[in-house]
Each structure stands twice: as structure tokens, then as C-alpha cells.
Structure 1
Amino acid sequence: MNQSPWWRGAVIYQIYPRSFLDTDGDGVGDLPGIVERLDYVASLGVDAIWISPFFKSPMADFGYDIADQRAVDPLFGTLDDFDRLLAKAHALGLKVMIDQVFSHTSDQHEWFRESRQDRTNPKANWYVWADAQEDGTPPNNWMSLFGGVAWRWEPRRCQYYLHNFLASQPDLNFHNPAVQEATLDYVRFWLDRGVDGFRLDSINFCFHDAQLRDNPPKPVEQRVGRGFSADNPYAFQYHWYNNTRPENLPFLEKVRGLLDEYPGAVSLGEISSEDSLATTAEYTSGNRLHMGYSFELLVDDFSAGYIRGTVERLEAAMTEGWPCWAVSNHDVRRAVTRWGGASPSPALAKMLVAMVCSLRGSVCIYQGEELGLPEADVPFEALRDPYGITFWPNFKGRDGCRTPMPWTSTADAGFSSGTPWLPVPDAHRTLAVAAQEADPDSVLNAFRAFMRWRKAQPALVRGSIAFLDTPEPVLAFVREGEGQRLLAAFNLSGSPATLQLPAGSWTPLDGHGAPLAAIRDAQVTLPAWGYLHAQAG
């Protein structure tokens, strides 16, 4: 009998609460809406849900600016609603993971309200405060991810405070042991309520360089990265000193020590650093995070060579930890648009799910990915994301992947009886859940079939991975474990592609949402965006 932890090889379904289902008509999704649709989530065959922030917040960054880590924002409901959600999810066999944002709070948090008053109050050293330089300029050259200088002047203290994100998201000072203890305290609060784990936002941003040394400049040709480009001054630097500091490692061990008091509780760290794969390996080694994921498969580069190279680099570095992969989330353009253009094929959507769920590791699936939703084109006047508003039109922000879930093909998409906080595009209504459930060939039904099939393949859930040398556009690898050896192959193009099978006898498998492939003379032709799973022996 397999004794592997529940999260190894798990498929985790990310719910963005603002956009899932609105039950009170205010145009914003809520916790009762999640409760109402948990049966649907369970029907997908996933193992867990990850709920993006629903805590008390002024919503400057839509919940990632937390004003009280122990309270549910009235916009989303109440603690009682969360407890109902937890109970129903567990009754359906779903684990529940929630976001935690350690590195910063909202400027409306009671800790910051006190800290900013003067230099002698009990919370005076809970945030990153620093004196101005002699000419009044900020303490160093650090830049904010959302554009501009990462320091904001506070006249009450006559000092600057650090904000790696929005100015309304001041950074906590984790060099202060009291801040670490307060953080662990509210993590324990949610563990005591029964949550099964945490997705830790920007986990490598907790500590800063205590000497406040300047970040060195980055050459022009290297000014690219997650969610920003050469037009964002954040890309002009190597971020050696404002994040990913060595002091973070002992703190992660404290977090792990707390989680270990709760059998089955798991941590998944979001990591974005100068070398995210190396940091992911480091953060998941020893007694630190259980899992880590970065943004390497959330980029525009879509080729077999890139995917293979990314996975192999992490596999080589991560000798102890466990990876988690994602091709979509609430921060990037939807995968079928990034990799399939303006009119992506449903076959691409099916193949992407099969591909990411065949890699070694756990998987995060973003709501709507099971429908093959493309990126929504949100006009400037409807934008809500401060990141997109600042960098329009070069970067349109994150609203295009955050539009409401289309449950029906009606005008309101079955999302809200009021005006949705973001518009629902017509293209999404045609891909609504109700329409796809009635279509046996839909992306949704292929998703369900694949998830059912995957659970019965131990090599896919927990086995090793070894890539095959294949020409573009075919990605192929062998998963092996628990007495099973599987070949997985994917055509990353809109034209048929031929694959020469490795030596041995291979039997194509069906039941996973793709047509049964025909093998002739150790060759198989994969249709456009097609995929194959075959068993050895």
C-alpha cells in the first residue's frame, strides 16, 4: 500500500475567489459561491483547492495587501462561511490550501498604523524603516516590482519605508524575531481551523539585506523576467539584496517545524528570484518547504527544448525537494493564448493539461483552465489591476486572466446577478461549463477523463522522469515507478508530427481524453496538438 504524502503528485485547483461565483449580487465572487460550486470542483477529479486571499483588505492589490490575517473580508463573507467551505471540501475528499502573504501587509494593518507613528512605539521595528541619504533621497537604489522606487517617505517618522510591491504594501522586518513569531502565530490560527496547507506568496521576499546595499545594474540584454520587461525599471537590476537573502532559510525551517505539528499539512512556496530554479531547489531541501514552484513555465517561450531544459535543470538541482508545476495562474496571460495565439485550438487546451499533469511533481491548475479559456481582452476603461494601469499599453496587467468564471452562456455567465467586477467576454460564454458539460468532446470532459485516468497511473503520480531526444515540436519522456513504465509524448504544434519510439514494446493507452494512437514500425504520428501515453511491456 502506498504511504506517500497526499500532496506528492496531487493536482491542486486554484480558485480566485473574486471571480468564481457571486452569491450576493455585488459583482464580486465570495466564499458562499465557492461552497456552492465545490461539487463541480470535486467532479473534476482534482485532489485539493488553493484559495487566493480572502482576508480583510482594502483591495489595493486585490487581497494580497492584507489588513488582518485572521479575518475574512466582508466582501467575501465570514469566518463561518470559511468553516462551512472547509467542512464541505473535506466531506468531498478535497484538501484545502490557502494563500499566506508573509513578506508584507497592507498599510491599513494595525501593525503598520502603529509602526508609522514614531520611532519608539512597540511596533517601531516591525517594518523596514531607514533614514534618508544626506540629500533627502531614498536609502538605496532598490526598485518596486510594480514600477518606480521601492521606498515611500513617512513624515511622522521622517524616514522611508520599504515596499517591494505597491506603496500601500509595506515590507515587514523579518530580522525582528517578534515579526517571525507573529507570522507563525497566524499560520497556527488557520492550521487550528483545519486547513491542509498554504501557498506562500513571494516567499523569497521575507528578508532584506540588513546593510541596505545597492543592487548592481543588469545588462540591457538580460532585462526580462516574470511579468515585467525592459520598460519596467525593476528589470534594470540584479535583485541580490532586496530578496532571496540567506537569513530566509532558518525561518523556513521554523515554518516547517510548525507544519510538522499538524500531520499532512503542506507548504508550497511561490519563488521568483534571479535564478528561480536554483532557489526552488534550495528552499525545498532539508527541513524547509515541502514544495516550490516558479514562473519558468508561465512564460511565452513554448518549445519542447525549453520545457525539457527547464524540467531537467530543476531535476538536477532538486535532489531532496518536490516540484510543483503550473502553466497558468492569476498573474500571467492564460496559457492557451500565450502559446496558441488569438484563436487557440481546443486540442491545445487538452494537450496542455495532459502535458503538465504528466511531468514529475504536483500540479496547480488555474480556474478556467479546464475549460480552455483564452485570455480576455479587457479595455483600458475597465481595468482594475494597478500594475496594468501603470504600464498600459505595453503591459495590460493581470485582469485578462482574472475575469469571472463562465458557468452558463447567458448574459451574466451565471456568475452574478449584479454587474461583474470585470467584464465577461463573449468568447468565454461559448465555453461555459453548462455548454461543455453537454458536449462529450469538450475540453472540460477531456479534462475529467484525464484526471480519472491519471489517478490509476502510479508512474505519472509519483514516478521518476527521463526525457527522450526528440526533434521539435515533440516533447517526450518516460515516467517509471511502482512497477509501471510509461511513455508520454506531446506534439507542441498545430501540424501533425512523427515520433520514433524508443526500443521495446509499447502499448498505446486510451481513456485519457485523446484518440488512441496507432503505432506502426515503432513510429507514431501525433495529430496537431496531439499526445500519446503508452505502456512498456
Structure 2
Amino acid sequence: MNGNSTEWWRNSVIYQIYPRSFCDANGDGIGDLPGITQKLDYVKSLGVDAIWISPFFKSPMVDFGYDVADYRDVDPIFGNLQDFDCLIEAAHARGLKVIIDQILSHTSDQHPWFEESRCSRDNPKADWYVWQDPKADGNPPNNWVSVFGGGSWRWCTRRRQYYLANFLKEQPDLNVHNPEVQAQLLADMKFWLDRGVDGFRLDAVNFIFHQQALSDNPPRPLKLDKKGLPPVNHYDYQWHKNDKSQPENLVFLQRVRQLMDQYPGTVTVGEVGDDNTHKIMADYTTEQRLHMAYSFDLLTEDCSAQFLRETLEKNRAVIEKGWPCWSISNHDVPRSITRWNHGLSLELAQKRAPLFLLMQLVLRGSVCLYQGEELGLAEADIAFEDLVDPYGINLWPEFKGRDGCRTPMPWTDSADQAGFTSGKPWLPISQSHRNLAVNLQQDSQHSMLNQFRALIEWHRQLPQSLATAQQEVLDTGNDLLVFVRRADKEVYLVALNLGTTEESYALPQEFFGAEDITPGLFAMELRENTLVLPAAGAGVLRNSN
């Protein structure tokens, strides 16, 4: 849609590939880079603009690649640097951009930097991580807690100090206040840019800096669940004012942007998780920082029209020139077809999946589509003995972790392991996913796969002017999500029925006689300037000025 080649990312559709679970080329049960390369024709057939590949760096895999032991090498389970170069070449030959995950806030405790840093208090990398003396009574320096459960401070017997670990104890936080660390991280990003990557998805981007004074986080009023119980994870008991989202982040992200600008057409997308995500997204995507950012606001269980109206309006009110990237599923949360359809019939749930893709495609911003969404995959049910995610193991049974959204892609329904591997898969294949395998949907006109393809193609045909058109959400007070996009020469009205019954909407006068450009797979009726939408129905109207 965007004619500016250096800003291809505006209104782009990015397809997230979780490499462990996409395709296994060597039969060891774990997906790999050659497996991705084998499936690039499939990815291209979706009509997406780019792929984002979750971490494949050398790692002990305690957090499945988000604990990096070498920023410049491929872990052997995924292949090698030559395999990556082949993937880049094959993707570019098909017109696909390649974005890779980059983790700037922490490393593995097996990274050579940390191995050296923890040896003593006076070695060359002694200050490359966040170290602090204990309190007089031996307790940690403050009350910060880990995202994955437990305290954020871990004791090191060699240095007789605590080190900061905002996630797992095997993921020590880098001290990015140190200029040497900043320079090294930028050099490691340059290494991949020189190999031809088109950008980076920056993991937990607002965790890069911590408050140097190490002040306690204030308590947070507890939000009780439906049973009247407080949160399962004690991370939710604090306002995280001091352990992330620090002002130094903004300065460092400008340095990241300066590096990216040396490689025209490359892009950064940041993952933002905080209490005030819209303001942070705005700050992080303006003043020559990140190109775009996404938050966890649409990765929650609430997808009501009222919640989406409030979320989109909060975003519009602050982001202005910044750029959101809308994601409703990824490798960290239950799949959207399960998460957003509690209590609904399978038939209605399947009808709503294309509706939510349409919503993402016509919002101001870009789209991130997680592998398997195009097949309509639901969250897999994983037995405790099959869990591998430490997050879920730590908080079982109230929280089952992230394995249910990470199970292997089903390629062929009748093949062993659904065509994912010839060996034993690292996570079990969901039997319910076999019925949704790619081969079964490939040639079926009305399959979820081909509905997603049709929607993405419809989106590609929209005028370039829509990419940066302004957006206004209209308060209908019912289950309709309605918003208007205003470009220089066109104005669009989008109405989506998120309820379970028919809804009507009286059109504003400026849309009387407007052109109906609704994708053909959605039901909609126009009765005397009133839109009538069944459950999961949608209407898109265009009026030329």
C-alpha cells in the first residue's frame, strides 16, 4: 500500500515465525532455519510483506532463545550462519523482508560477558551487568520482583553481591548505563545489518535501563479476579516505576535509530509492556527513535467493543506521529481464537477470526500476524508432564505458561507429526490442529487460510493514502466497533460486529451513497442509510472527497 520503499513498513503485514515450531528440516524434532527456507513459498502465498523470526542465536535455551549466549552466532539446533544467509537470500528473492529478534536488556548467564563479569569486582567486564551489595541484613537491595515469579535479585557467591534478573535467574540484566555495553550492543546489531537483515523486533524494549538509585517500586492496588482472589503472579503487586521504562531509554533508542538510518529501508519494532503503554509507544516511536511499537493491550482476554473503543482512543490521543503495530497473538499469550471467544460456539469463533484480522488491517498502523492464526489454530491443551516453559512450570496450575501457543505448525494432516518433523517434536502435536492442516485448507475456497489470503490481498489493493490517514473511533454504545479513517481524498467508515446478535448502525450523513468496498466474505446489508450487521459481520464504506 505504501509507495515509499524506505517506509515499506507503514501498513505492512509482518508474519511472526517461531522457529522451534515452524518446520524441522533435519528430523531432530525442533524447527530450524532450513525448515523456514523450505516454507517461504507458503509464507509468500499469504501476501505478507515481511517475516519476523523469533530468536535463533546461540543459547542454552532456558528461555528458548531469549537467553542469548552469543549475539553473533546461530545455535546449532537451528543451523548455522550459512543457513541464515541462505534464508535471507531466498526471502529477498521472493520480495519478503526479514526482521530478527534482538534482546538488548539481558543475556544468558552462560554468555562469556557474564562469565567474566561475575568472576570478580575489578575485571574488565565487572560493570557490564547490574551488581549491587546486599543490605546490612543480607537481603536484596530493594523490593523489585521478576516477571516470571520470585525476586529480581540473585545472589552470586563469587562476588558476594546480587545481580539483577528481571526475568529468569539465568537471564542477568545488562548494565546499559555503561557506554561500553551500549557500543557493543550497537556493534552486534550492525553485524546482522551487514548480513542483510531488514530490521529488528526489540524484545522487552522498555526494560533496557533501570533506575540507578534502585528505589523501591510502590505497591499497586490489587485487581481481584472473578473469584475475588488477588493476582497469581506477584509481579502484578507493584507499580513498576523504577525497574523499567526509564528516561535513558529514549536517548539510547535515538542511537539505535542513527544506526538503522545508515541502512535505508530497515526498521525497528519494539515490544512495550507497562502500565502506561500508549504514552510509552508514543515516546518510543517519535523523535527519531523506533519506527513502530506494539503493546500487550490487545493481547488481553477482553475484546469487547467497549474495551477496543477505549484502547484505540487512548492510542490515538497520544501517539500522533508515532506508529503502532497491532498484534492480537504471539508466542507469549494464548491464541486469540481461544482467548477472544470464551463461551462462544466453534462456528462463531471461526467466523470472528477473519473479523479481527480485518480490524487490524484497517486500523492506523501495521500488523503482526502470528504463525497458525491463518489456519484458525486454537490454544493447545498441554499436560503438565509435557510442559517445557519455565514460566508455566513455576506458576502451575493457575497459569499454564506459553507452551499452548507454541506447538508445531500442522502442515499435512495424515503425516507423522503432521508434517512438522520426522522425529519426536519438542512439544506434542495438538490432535485438534491436524484437522486444520495446511494441506486440507490449501485448495478450499472458504477455508480460514484462504479467507486470510483474500483479506491481505484486499488490503494490498487499498490506496496508498490510507496508510497515514487519521483515525477516529465512534462511540456506538453497543457491540459495534465503528471508526473513520480520513485521508486527503477519501474517507472510510469501518463497522465490525463483535457481538453475538444482529446490530444496526445509522450512517453519518457524509456516508450516504458511499461506495461499499466490504470484503466479500463478510455479511452486511444496507437499509436506507443504516448498516445492518449479523454477528461477525462487517462493513467498509468509502467516500471520495
TM-score computed with the length of structure 2 as normaliser: 0.95
Matches within 5 A, 1:278-357: 278-341=279-342, 344=346, 345-357=349-361
SS for the counterpart of 2:500 is coil
Q: 1:256, 1:289 within 8 Å by CA — same for their partners in 2?
A: yes
Gaps of 5+ in 2: none
Deviation at 1:24, TM superposition (A): 0.8
- Matching residue of 1:486: 492
Alpha carbons of structure 1 residues 415 and 460: separation in structure 2 relative to 1, 3 Å: farther
- Matching residue of 1:9: 11
AA partner of residue 142 (structure 1)? W
Q: Does 1:535 align with 2:542?
A: yes
SS for the counterpart of 2:223 is helix
Deviation at 1:495, TM superposition (A): 2.6
Distance (Å, rounded) in 1 between the aligned partners of 2:268 and 2:155: 35
The sequence identity of aligned pairs, in percent, is: 55
SS for the counterpart of 1:451 is helix
AA partner of residue 487 (structure 2)? G
Deviation at 1:420, TM superposition (A): 1.0
Deviation at 1:469, TM superposition (A): 2.7
Deviates more, 1:30-39 or 1:497-506: 497-506
- Matching residue of 2:457: 452
Q: 2:285, 2:323 within 8 Å by CA — same for their partners in 1?
A: yes
SS for the counterpart of 1:220 is coil
- Matching residue of 1:472: 478
Q: Does 1:158 align with 2:160?
A: yes
Q: 2:386, 2:428 within 8 Å by CA — same for their partners in 1?
A: yes
Q: 1:145 aligns with which of 144, 147, 153?
A: 147
AA partner of residue 30 (structure 1)? D
Q: 1:223, 1:236 within 8 Å by CA — same for their partners in 2?
A: no
Q: 2:420 aligns with which of 396, 415, 419?
A: 415
AA partner of residue 196 (structure 2)? G
Query: What do residues 378-402 of structure 1 show as CA deviations (whole Å, max 9, x unaligned)?
Result: 1111111100011111111001110
Matches within 5 A, 1:386-425: 386-410=390-414, 411-425=416-430
AA partner of residue 360 (structure 1)? R
Matches within 5 A, 1:78-477: 78-221=80-223, 230-341=231-342, 344=346, 345-410=349-414, 411-458=416-463, 460-477=466-483
Q: 2:408, 2:420 within 8 Å by CA — same for their partners in 1?
A: yes
Deviation at 1:48, TM superposition (A): 0.6
SS for the counterpart of 1:14 is strand
Distance (Å, rounded) in 1 between the aligned partners of 2:292 and 2:254: 13
SS for the counterpart of 2:43 is helix
Deviation at 1:82, TM superposition (A): 0.6
Q: 2:523, 2:534 within 8 Å by CA — same for their partners in 1?
A: no
AA partner of residue 481 (structure 2)? L
Deviation at 1:214, TM superposition (A): 0.9
Distance (Å, rounded) in 1 between the aligned partners of 2:488 and 2:378: 37
Deviation at 1:499, TM superposition (A): 2.3
Q: 1:142, 1:242 within 8 Å by CA — same for their partners in 2?
A: yes
Deviation at 1:145, TM superposition (A): 0.5
Deviates more, 1:427-436 or 1:450-459: 450-459
Q: 1:496 aligns with which of 499, 502, 506?
A: 502
What is the alpha-carbon root mean square deviation over aligned residues?
1.7
Deviation at 1:229, TM superposition (A): 7.0
SS for the counterpart of 2:501 is coil
Q: 1:454, 1:461 within 8 Å by CA — same for their partners in 2?
A: no
Distance (Å, rounded) in 2 between the aligned partners of 1:497 and 1:31: 47
Query: What do residues 255-291 of structure 1 show as CA deviations (whole Å, max 9, x unaligned)?
Result: 0111111101111110112211111111112111111
Q: 1:508, 1:516 within 8 Å by CA — same for their partners in 2?
A: no
AA partner of residue 146 (structure 1)? F
SS for the counterpart of 1:33 is helix
Deviates more, 1:453-462 or 1:64-73: 453-462
The alignment of Structure 1 onto Structure 2 pairs a total of residues equal to: 533
Alpha carbons of structure 1 residues 220 and 38: separation in structure 2 relative to 1, 3 Å: same
AA partner of residue 203 (structure 2)? D
Distance (Å, rounded) in 2 between the aligned partners of 1:98 and 1:49: 8
Distance (Å, rounded) in 2 between the aligned partners of 1:266 and 1:471: 38
Alpha carbons of structure 1 residues 481 and 169: separation in structure 2 relative to 1, 3 Å: same
Query: What do residues 143-191 of structure 1 show as CA deviations (whole Å, max 9, x unaligned)?
Result: 0000011111111111110000000000000111000000000000001
Distance (Å, rounded) in 1 between the aligned partners of 2:251 and 2:286: 12
Deviation at 1:502, TM superposition (A): 2.0
Q: 2:312, 2:473 within 8 Å by CA — same for their partners in 1?
A: no
Q: 2:523, 2:538 within 8 Å by CA — same for their partners in 1?
A: no
